[in-house]
Amino acid sequence: MPERSRFNTPELLEALRNRDPEAWRALYEEQWRPLCAFIRARLAHSPNGQTESEELAQEVLCRAYTSIIHFRGAAQLETWLRTIAQYAIIDAVRAAQRERRLSEQTAALESIGEPLHTRAAPDPEVSALRQDLIRRLLRELQIVLGKYSGLFVKRHLEDLSEQEVAEAEGLKYGTASGYLARTRRLLRQQSARFASLLSE
C-alpha cells in the first residue's frame, strides 16, 4: 500500500491543476522515490532496471502534469500516479519488443544478403554496389511487408517449406500459409516500386 500523499486535499490538488511550480516541485520530491521503487519492482529482471525506472518515473510525472486537469480526485493521488506508471511500463515493454523484433528481422535479412553478394561479385567496387542494392531491396521488403517480412524471408530466401515456416514462427499451418499469401499479394501490388529500384 503506497504511503498516502499529502496532496489529497482540495487546495493542493487545485494548485497542481493550476500548474503551480512550487506545488509540482513538492509533489516531485514526495513521489520521486516511491515511484522509482514501484517501477523498479516491476522491472526486476531488467539489467538496467534502475536507469529505466528513473526514466519511466520522469515519464509518469510528465504524463501526470499534462493530464492533472482531468483528475477528479475520486481516487487517491498516489494510486492515480501508479496507474499511470503501469501504463508507462506496458508502453515501454511493447516498444522494446517491437525494437527487438525489427532488429532481429534486419539481422536475418542482412545475413542472407551478405553471402548472395559475396558469391556474385568478388570485385570490391562491384561488391559494394551490389551490397548497397541488396540492403535497399531488403529494406523495401521490410517497408512493404511489415511484420510479414520475416515469414517471406524464411519461405522464399531461406527456402523453408510453409510447414517449416509455421513451426519456426510458432503459428498454425493455415495461419502461416495465409500470411505468406498476403505477402505475395502485397509484392504484386508494389511490383513497380521494386522495378524502379532495380533500374536505377
CATH 3.90.70 correct for 121-198: no
Q: Which tens digit of pLDDT belongs to each residue from 4-52?
A: 777 778 888 899 999 999 999 999 999 999 999 999 998 877 777 778 8
SS (H, E, C) the chain: CCCCCCCCCHHHHHHHHCCCHHHHHHHHHHHHHHHHHHHHHHCCCCCCHHHHHHHHHHHHHHHHHHHHHHCCCCCCHHHHHHHHHHHHHHHHHHHHHHHHHHHHHHHHHHHHHHHHHHHHCCCHHHHHHHHHHHHHHHHHHHHHHHHHHHHHHHHHHCCCCHHHHHHHHCCCHHHHHHHHHHHHHHHHHCHHHHHHHHCC
Q: Do domains 10-96 and 121-198 have the same CATH topology?
A: no
For domain 10-96, the CATH architecture is: Orthogonal Bundle (1.10)
User: What is the band of 176 on the pLDDT scale with cuts at 50, 70, 90?
Assistant: confident
Q: Which tens digit of pLDDT belongs to each residue from 93-125?
A: 887 777 777 666 666 655 655 554 444 445 566
Q: Return the domain boundaries, the chain.
A: 10-96, 121-198
